[in-house]
Structures are given as C-alpha cells and as structure tokens.
Amino acid sequence: MEPWNNVIPLSRSAARPVALEVQLGEYRRAFTEWTPDQGRVFQAFYAIDTETTEIDRENPQIVPALVLATACDETRGVLLSRNTLPAFLRIHHDSSLICHNAAFDLKVMQQVIGKGQDLYELVELGRVWDTLVLRRLLSLATQGHSARGDSTLAASVRDILGLELPKETEDEQGKAIRTGFGRYLGRPLSEIPFDSLSYAARDPLATWLLFWKLYAQIKAALRDSTQVWGYVNESWLADCIRRFGPLTHHVQL
C-alpha cells in the first residue's frame, strides 16, 4: 500500500464529529472535526487549505464556493465546515496562517466569513505565509529562476521534501477527487467520503512540512548572503526582512 493511501477512519457517525488519520511519508496526523466549543486548538502557526467547487478557468473573476477547509500544526489537524470556519478564524485571529497559494485560499475564506472580519489585515501584519511564494523566491535566490510552473504543492513537496503527494486520485466512481468537491457543497462533513476528506487533509500537512523545510533553507540562504554582492551588514538584512519579509515574501504576497 502506498503511504498516502494509509488513511485510517477513526469515527464516522451523524452524532459524533468526523475523525481520520492521514499519513504523508513518515509523518502522520490525526484530523478531527472542529466545533466552536473546542476553542483554540493551534497556537502561533497553523497551515490551512481550502477545497472548493470547480475553478472556472474561463472566468477567473468568479470565486469558487468553499466546500470545506482543513488545517493542522505539529500535533493535530482539524476539519472545518463552511459553518464553523468563521468561528475558527475568529478564535485563531492572533495566530499566523500558512497556505500554499494564499491568494486563492484567502479569497475563498474571505467570501465565507463576510465583511465582519478582514483576513487581509493579517497579510498587512505579516502573519500570512505562502509556501508557493517562498518556494519561488528561494528558487530565484539560489538557482536563478523562479520555478515558474514547477511550484505546485505536489511539485514543491516532491522537490523540497522528497515526498509524493498524489493529486490525480479518483473516487469509487472513477471521478477525479481534486475537482469533485463541488458535489458536497452544502452537505455536512459526515456525508463527505473518506477518500475526499483524506485528500483534503493531506494538503495542510504537506504545507506545514513544506513551510518549515523552506524556513530552514531560506535561513541558510540568508546566512550565506554575507558573501553576495550588495550585502551591507546584519542589521541592514534584519531591517529588510522586517520591512519586506524574508526574500521579499511579504511584498510579493
């Protein structure tokens, strides 16, 4: 059995919240359905990903509808429905979010939470991290190109972590899981098949792992930058990072 198929359903009933465990390489995480009575479950950082109705490539101005979101940190993961996401984000408003392609996830989540809460304020505060942007900036800094077209989550996980994150999996009916979340829009998490839930849960786990690996690599790259032409001194570099983010991440985002 491939490691990514090693999904263990922990519970499934209408009365109890949904729970499952996913594995990516050697990393495992238990995911449970989050309900507002659980309060804060993550501290300073967490990775989050959204699953939506099919993206209309011909009409990019149309924001797809959120079906579910998944989030995790070092110890645990949570499954979020449309109904619980606003409360979750409110309770975790002072944590930092890590996404892969944050522009998309923020747009989708902002649509659900409405005008009462502004996720983009977190961007201004430097509390949204995008592994897609970091990956491309790191590539630009160390390899001289921006890894354009090769910075999807699956490609980044493969290149940076050496793990396979399959994206072309199919459900029991032979339909692509990646593009098939639309059929579960408006339905409770308990009605979404495990294959789809585990597909959704693997992405924040991959994003979480990717972020910390990129962090280490970017840190090393910055440490080596003392030899690069234009480097001034340590406090100048610290100031650049404070103002623009590491490798200008905040500005790019």
Partner 1 sequence: MFEEGGGETGSLTTLAVDYRAEAHAAAHLTNLLAVTTGNSESFTQASVPPRIAASLLASHSLRKLLPEVRLYCRRPVFDEDFGWKGPGYHESSRLLIHGPQIAPVVYEPEFEAGARALEGLPPRLAQLLREFAWRSDADHVNAVAALLTGLLCNHFVDEPHPIVVIDGNQSGIGKTLLGQIMGHVLDGIEPARISLAGEEELEKKLCSHIRGSRSCMIFLDNVRDRMVSEVIEQNALSPVLQFRVLGTSSFVERPNSYLWVVTSNTTKAASDVFTRGLPIRLSVEGDPKKRNFTGRPLAYAYEHRLEILGELAGMVHHWLLKGKPQGTHRHRCEYWASVIGGILGEAGLGALFLGNLDEAAAEMDEDLNQLRALAEYVLKNPQEKLIHWPKVVCDEPVSANSGPLGGPKDPADAVKGATRLGLPAGEWVPVFEKAGILTDKLGLAPSRSKATIVGQFFSKMVDRSVTVDAEPQQLTSTLRKHLGRSNKKLFFFEVRALKSPPVSETEEVSGNGDPDPGASGLADGPEEQLLGTPAPGGNPPDHELEWC
Contacts of 184 (CB under 8 A, 6+ apart): 67, 68, 191, 192, 196
Q: Between residues 89 and 165, which has the closer beta carbon with respect to partner 1?
A: 89
Stretch that binds partner 1, among 1-9, 11-19, 22-30, 231-239 (CB under 8 A): 231-239
Residue 176 CB coordination number (10 Å): 12
Q: How far is CA 178 from the centre of its chain?
A: 15
Question: Which of these, 38, 34, 30, 43, lies nearest to 92 by C-alpha position?
Answer: 43
Task: Indicate the burial class of 133 (C-beta count within 10 angstroms; 0-12, 13-18, 19 or more).
Answer: buried
Q: Tell me the number of residues near partner 1 by CB under 8 A.
A: 46
Contact residue for partner 1 among 5, 74, 111, 231 (CB under 8 A): 111
Counting beta carbons within 10 angstroms of the beta carbon of residue 210, is it exposed (0 to 12), middle (13 to 18) or buried (19 or more)? buried
Residue 167 is a binding residue for partner 1 (CB under 8 A): no
Candidates 3-11, 151-159, 192-200, 232-240: pick the segment binding partner 1 (CB under 8 A): 232-240
Measure the CA angle with vertex 144, ends 138 and 250; round to 5°.
35
Integer Cα distance of 122 and 118 in angstroms = 8
Q: Is 188 in the site for partner 1 (CB under 8 A)?
A: no
Q: Is 195 in the site for partner 1 (CB under 8 A)?
A: no
User: Of residues 57-86, which lie at the interface with partner 1 (CB under 8 A)?
Assistant: 58-59, 61-63, 65-66, 82-83, 86
Q: Which residue number, 28 or 183, has a Cβ lying nearer to partner 1? A: 183
The total of other beta-carbon atoms located within 10 Å of residue 24's CB is 22
Nearer Cβ to partner 1 (23/32): 32
Give the nearer residue to partner 1 in terms of CB position, either 23 or 51.
51
Query: In this chain, which of 87, 140, 154, 155 binds partner 1, going by CB under 8 A?
Result: 87
Nearer to partner 1 (CB atom), residue 22 or residue 98: 98
How far apart are alpha carbons 174 and 129 in whole angstroms? Answer: 35
52 is written with which tokens?
């939506």
Residues near partner 1 (CB under 8 A) are 36, 39-40, 43-45, 53-54, 56, 58-59, 61-63, 65-66, 82-83, 86-87, 90-92, 94-96, 111, 127, 175-176, 179-180, 182-183, 185-186, 215, 218-219, 222-223, 234, 237-238, 241, 246
